[in-house]
Chains A and B, each alone.
Chain A
Amino acid sequence: MDFLNALVALSNFVIIPAIAYGSQLALGALGVTLIYGILRFSNFAHGDTMAFGAMIGVLVTWFLQSMGVSFGPLPTALLALPFAILGTMALVLITDRVVYRFYREQKAKPVILVIVSMGVMFIMNGLVRFIIGPNDQKFADGERFIISVREFKALTGLKEGLAIKTTQGITVVVAIIAVALLFWFLNRTRTGKSMRAYSDNEDLALLSGINPERVVMYTWLIVAALATTAGVLYGLDKSFKPFVYFQLLLPIFASAIVGGLGSPLGAIAGGFVIAFSEVTITYAWKKVLKYMLPESLEPSSLVQLLSTDYKFAVSFVILIVVLLFKPTGLFKGKSV
């Protein structure tokens, strides 16, 4: 029985990756949930909005790198992030003006807007592939590890090593800052309050003189910022590949729905629920159990409940279970 080593192994392979992944999912799910709360439809183009934002991030990073600009030990992509956010903001505002506004004025049914967002998804997907191509792109630079396995072992003298990648650390820090800013905005500013009012009761909000177009515009701006941040962080942590962002749509929606569509707090909780379940269920527990169990009980197999290829299945099963038992999600969401 070796509790400390087990804990380190668990942190290294489960807790830290899940926290980083959960933060990325939470940022993505916040965007989905805000659109659902204010504009009242499920935005299928969200994954591709993230891809677009990340793509601008990659391009600006490359440009900065070629100019010799660097951010010291931190990845240059962080410097590129504001530009990427501005670019994505422009894109979503144009999309809203050209595409979505028409249906808003028509008071189209939500499901029509979902189909419209499918069209936007095609266009954004095509745009990203057109500009940067469908292949993997690397753009992370700077220091690779905050603490590497070797340093950790030397520091503590434990048998198991613990590595924290810089990108994981940055992901968590940036996510915390983004969420804090978002909640400050929603709860403290006038525009934020009017957004919440509009989301809670559209008619009452209109009656008290809230300008709906302004609310919608701010929503898109925030969503663009969140989606780009999530996209750049995910790209830094894993790598940038347009199709992967499209596939992220499923866990992101699962997070938003599990948390309760329309509830920002729920989106964050949902993101971590999905991330932790995915990682724990697809992790081979042999290493941790080896330390926890007496030698006679040591497992011979990998003790992996599901192979990693089935991680979609995990988010999906959680989604179904939550919906069956709590149809509006963990934090009371809304339904249109």
Chain B
Amino acid sequence: MIWGILASLAVPILGVFAAGSVGFVTAIVEVALAWTYWHGARTKNEALTNFALFGIVAVLILATGFSQSWNVAVLILNMGLISAIMALGVNLQWGFAGLFNVGVMGFVALGGLAVVLTSAAPVEGAWSAGGWRIVIALLAGAGTIVATVMVRQRMAAGRARNIATIAILVVGFFLYRGIFDPGVAAVEAINPALQGNLGGLNLPVLLAWPMGGLLAAGVAWLIGKTALGLRSDYLAIATLGIAEIIIAVMKNEDWLARGVKNVVGLDRPVPYEIDLQNSSTFINRAEGLGMDVATASSLFVKLNYSILFAVVLAIIFVMAQLALKSPWGRMMRAIRDNEVAAEAMGKDVTNRHLQIFVIGSAVCGIAGAMMTTLDGQLTPGTYNPLRYTFLIWVMVIVGGSGNNLGAVLGGFLIWFLWVQVEPMGLWLMEVITSGMAEDSGLKKHLIDSAAHMRLLTMGVILLLVLRFSPRGLIPEK
């Protein structure tokens, strides 16, 4: 009820702002949609409320197109699609199974890494110079860990076992570094200004998306094996730490994907703007539509991405819906609601948790790969937990945890706000400071700081939803 009133008040204001000149029409449509939502909520008509909610988001994005620029609008749409996929991944883990994973950033980054490893051209001579050496070193490292685990499982507890464990670890570590370091030095010495890494497999970039999922799934399996037995708080801290470690590895292991030197100019699954601008058919068509060729080409490229992303989102969404409604999904929710009871019914809680942790992380990895493809570059320095972990959580909670449709809605809505709160904040600050003197230091500070409004806003939205509508905009059935 309160939420409905809040929404019906807030939405037209948003609409007016987002639209500017077409603000009036937008505001009317938004009021109508908000009323539809309210009406739907009162009569408990789910289809109506969902239609209204998605309609509100759609109109907001359209209004951005009319008032600001279509490029911005389609960019919001594209990142919204990716955010929706990430939110679906987190919703699988949290909404279905109650797993508290705050390491989303790590899996998103792994997806990005997969793009480089799959689609980039191999660096000439890197494999013969030291690539194989690195692989052997990594195998030696893995072998050390396996040997340690074996010793601990097979030998009887006691001093002999402890000494053996330490001996294996120490010898293994120096063996690993002994093989690893020269290999890395050799690879990183190859044309360091432009390359200095192993490069990728030169496969089509679309293949990198499932590869991103696979890479994230593999790492998630390793993590799940060690950390999933932990209590929820501990698991949260553990995943938080793992995400930081993944980013640290990607920043520092230059042989892998050039670290903070970034990999730019990644392959694209869509045509390049410059090719379109030189193609006579495209020019004719753009002129036929009465559009500027440069704008038309960049829009065309972005819309191609939108179609690809929408297809992926649709596939993942349908699969998540099927999973939710299947006996497997019911079992997951049973485990979430009462682990002890589920265990008593003979359900293997640990393995089911591992399963859904891997699946959810894979979905985040796919989304991460898509995002890196959209950016065309891998920049490990830009991964920040507030943006890539906690913002996704806000999407899930606001949208409605446990409900796939809710996660998708949250992805779009929160992403729209994340982008648009900045200009809104600036506008607000200008209104607030309009009465102040031109050279006032406070005025300058307030306007300069407007960019930080988005974090504040996200926090307020999260707290408001948790307080007044704890089950989210589209609650679980």
A residues at B contact (CB < 8 Å): 36, 41-42, 99, 102, 110-112, 114-116, 118-127, 129-131, 133-134, 243, 246-247, 249-250, 253-254, 257, 261, 305, 307, 309-310, 312-313, 315-316, 319-320, 323-324, 335-336
Contacts and interface: CB of A to CB of B under 8 A. Distances in A.
B311 interface: no
25 contacts: A36-B233, A114-B100, A114-B236, A115-B397, A116-B466, A118-B394, A119-B459, A119-B460, A122-B456, A125-B459, A129-B449, A129-B455, A130-B449, A133-B452, A243-B384, A246-B386, A249-B240, A250-B237, A250-B240, A253-B237, A253-B240, A312-B241, A312-B248, A316-B242, A324-B226
Please classify the interface of chain A as helix (H, G, I), strand (E, B), loop, or mixed, using the class held by over half of its residues: helix
A115 B245 contact: no
Nearest to B391: A122
Contacts of A102: 467
Contact of A309 (B252, B455, B470): B252
Contacts of B248: 309-310, 312-313
A112 B466 contact: yes
Contact of B237 (A127, A134, A254): A254
B409 interface: no
B230 interface: yes
Given A114-B233, A118-B390, A127-B456, 15 more contacts: A114-B232, A115-B393, A122-B455, A122-B458, A123-B459, A126-B458, A130-B456, A246-B386, A254-B241, A257-B237, A309-B252, A312-B245, A316-B244, A320-B238, A323-B234
A126 B466 contact: no
Interface string B440-477: 00000000110011111111101100110010000000
A150 B186 CA distance: 40
Contacts of B390: 118, 121-122
A200 B466 CA distance: 29
A247 B251 CA distance: 16
B439 to A, nearest CB: 20
B238 A119 contact: no
B393 A319 contact: no
Contacts of B470: 112
Contacts of A118: 390, 393-394, 462
B361 to A, nearest CB: 17
Contacts of A254: 237, 241
B393 A257 contact: no
B233 A126 contact: no
A323 B454 contact: no
A129 B452 contact: yes
Contact of A121 (B448, B459, B466): B459
Contacts of A131: 449
Contact of B226 (A42, A305, A320): A320
B474 to A, nearest CB: 18
B325 interface: no
A36 B113 CA distance: 37
A310 B241 CA distance: 11
A211 to B, nearest CB: 25
A42 B227 CA distance: 17
Interface residues of B, number: 44
B122 to A, nearest CB: 26
Given A134-B452, A316-B242, A111 B232 contact: yes
A272 to B, nearest CB: 19
A119 B453 contact: no
Nearest to B260: A309
B245 A313 contact: yes
A316 B241 contact: yes
8 A-B pairs with the lowest CB-CB distances in the bound complex, closest first: A122-B459, A126-B456, A126-B455, A123-B459, A316-B241, A119-B462, A129-B452, A119-B463
A336 B234 CA distance: 11
A316 B397 CA distance: 27
A246 B387 CA distance: 13
A112 B457 CA distance: 20
Contact of A125 (B98, B173, B245, B386): B386
A225 B238 CA distance: 27
Contacts of A312: 241, 244-245, 248
B231 interface: yes
Contacts of A122: 386, 390, 394, 455-456, 458-459, 462
Nearest to B401: A115
A249 B239 CA distance: 13
B231 A335 contact: yes
A134 B470 CA distance: 32
A316 B456 contact: no
Interface in B87-134: 98, 100
Contact of B459 (A110, A120, A307): A120
Nearest to A324: B226
A226 B169 CA distance: 39
Contact of A42 (B236, B394, B466): B236
Interface string B387-431: 000100110010000000000000000000000000000000000
A322 to B, nearest CB: 10
A99 B462 CA distance: 11
A243 B459 CA distance: 16
Given A115-B397, A130-B449, A250 B251 contact: no
Contacts of A323: 230, 234, 238
A138 to B, nearest CB: 19
Nearest to B247: A312
B433 to A, nearest CB: 14
A274 to B, nearest CB: 12
Contact of A126 (B236, B240, B459): B459
Nearest to A242: B452
B460 A123 contact: yes
